[in-house]
Amino acid sequence: MQEKADSTIISISQMPRRKLARTTDGLEMTERGLLAVDENYMTTRPGVFGAGDVVTGAKTVVHAVDGAKKASEAMIRYMEQTET
């Protein structure tokens, strides 16, 4: 099927944004412009965690939910360890 049009606007964007790191002390980005986290999903700012596209780059909802679940578990472990 063909549609007639005067113009076409492509409005899909999937590039990382650095605003979060620029405006938050202690947050570092990777060379790919993604939020840097360790194996426990903790960012370079202690006690701050990250997951999803901002960490992995453009993926899917399933990947984002999986990362969020693992990051949540890591957050609980971190809070239990740092409890006084």
Residues that bind ligand FAD (CB under 6 A): 12, 14, 19-20, 52-54, 59-62, 64
Residue type, 10: I
Minimal distance, residue 80 CB to ligand FAD, in Å: 25
| Chain centroid offset of residue 67 CA | 9
Q: Which residues pair with 37 in a beta bridge?
A: 43
CA–CA–CA angle 38, 19, 42 (5° rounding): 15
Judge whether 55 and 41 are in contact, CB under 8 Å: yes
Minimal distance, residue 63 CB to ligand FAD, in Å: 6
User: Among residues 34 and 78, whose Cβ is nearest to ligand FAD?
Assistant: 34
User: Among residues 58 and 76, whose Cβ is nearest to ligand FAD?
Assistant: 58
Minimal distance, residue 11 CB to ligand FAD, in Å: 9
